Structure 1
Amino acid sequence: MFEGTTIAACKTERGTAIAGDGQVTFGQSTIFKQTASKIRKLHHGNVLAGFAGSVADAITLFERFEKKLEQHQGNLLRASVELAKEWRSDKVLRRLEALLLVADQESILIISGSGEVIEPDDNVIAIGSGGSYAFAALKMLAKHTDLEPEDMAYESLIAASEICVYTNSHITVEKLM
């Protein structure tokens, strides 16, 4: 199975940013690709999304999430809740092994296959194998620096890449202003 990644997002009054590393790991010991892009802009560039977990599963979820965004005129929370409900109740989707991190100008959310839609308390969050490292770095950067959100997301992934073997330093960043 192809997996292993780190995705981080933060929101400030200056914008919302999401960053993802480029490593795709096959099993637990082989780096299969170093330059994958696991984040993208959706819904006319107004929503950011990133995934952690199985690549094929995440692509399926991206497609379904984008359809939900269209159905709900870009309403991030409503589209997220509807995807989580479908993901949890559908026999095929229920087996997907991935997490989505989605964001717009107002919210950052994690969507899981067990039906959760989680909004972080302090506008920073990270998922994936290096997620806890990136999350800790983001929390400190948000608290103790005045960096732009895209710089905080980037630096948190650099920190994770120096600790987590499933995270590399080929980082893609997207920002909403």
Structure 2
Amino acid sequence: MEKLKSTTVVAVKHGGQVVIGADGQATLGNTIAKSSVNKIRKLQGGKIVTGFAGSTADAFTLLEKFEEKLDAYGNNMKRAAVELAKEWRTDRMLSKLEAMMVVADAEDILIISGTGDVIEPDLAIASIGSGSMYAQAAARALKKYAPHLTAEEMVRESLNIAADICIYTNHNIIIEKVAM
């Protein structure tokens, strides 16, 4: 059986808001398996928002592990992210998982990968998935040339641009704001 292909997730911190959005498409080979997958989750009453790309089952496993780390480290998102990345890289079962996560709170946006990376991106813009470079380029341009837009508008437009270019990204967009 072929794996589900990736997606596009983008997060932007701008104008006092932190917003994460993702498209809703999941593909199996060269076929759209589902067009309305929710790849965004709110944690800690919305104070932390996550987005995932990659295998859905793997992403849910990582999401559960991330929640465990948040509980273990007093909801300290950075510490939980580092501890998850360490375990993900060294644990036999977890190291086989094929997914990535963007996590955000009111202060920070982080990308977490299975290679042990916890990246705090430049310009407070993070993106993952097959359309991530398109969405990131669009978000960077919007932040620079259209700073009057809200973070939500930047995320929405970045995802729409990615969906126009990336075959694994669609226009069924879900957006969540981090509770301040």
Interval containing the TM-score (normalised by the shorter chain): over 0.9
1:105 matched residue in structure 2 = 106
Picking from 16, 19, 29, the partner of 1:17 is 19
Supply the distance in 2 between the matched residues of 1:152 and 1:71 (Cα, whole angstroms): 34
Partner of 1:163: 165
Deviations 1:39-97 (A, max 9, x none): 11112211010001111100100111011111112111000000000000100100000
> Where in structure 2 are the equivalents of 1:1-177 lying within 5 Å?
1-27=3-29, 29-145=30-146, 146-176=148-178, 177=180
Partner of 1:3: helix, strand, or coil?
coil
**1:5-58 deviations in whole A, cap 9, x for unaligned?**
10000002321000000000112x010000000011112211010001111100
How far apart in 2 are the matches of 1:41 and 1:54? 19
Q: Distance in 2 between matches of 1:139 and 1:70?
A: 33
Q: Say whether the 8 Å CA contact 1:21–1:157 is kept in structure 2.
A: yes
My pick for the range that moved more, 65-74 or 164-173, is 65-74
Q: Which amino acid aligns with 1:138?
A: A
Amino acid paired to 1:170: N
Residue 168 of structure 2 aligns to a residue whose secondary structure is coil
The code of the aligned residue for 2:25 comes to Q
**8 A Cα contact 2:15 2:151, kept in partner:** no
> Is contact 2:8–2:53 with CA below 8 Å preserved after alignment?
yes
Percent identity between the two aligned chains: 52
User: Tell me, which stretches of 5 or more residues in structure 1 are unaligned?
Assistant: none
Q: In 2, distance between residues paired with 1:152 and 1:126?
A: 13
Q: How far apart in 2 are the matches of 1:71 and 1:142?
A: 35
Task: Provide the secondary structure at the position in 2 that maps to 1:113.
Answer: coil
Of stretches 143-152 and 74-83 in structure 1, the one that deviates more from structure 2 is: 143-152
Give the TM-score of the pair, scaled to structure 1.
0.97
TM-score (norm 2): 0.95
Residue type of the partner of 2:66? F
The ranges of structure 1 where at least 4 consecutive aligned residues each deviate by more than 2 angstroms after the TM superposition are: none
RMSD: 0.8
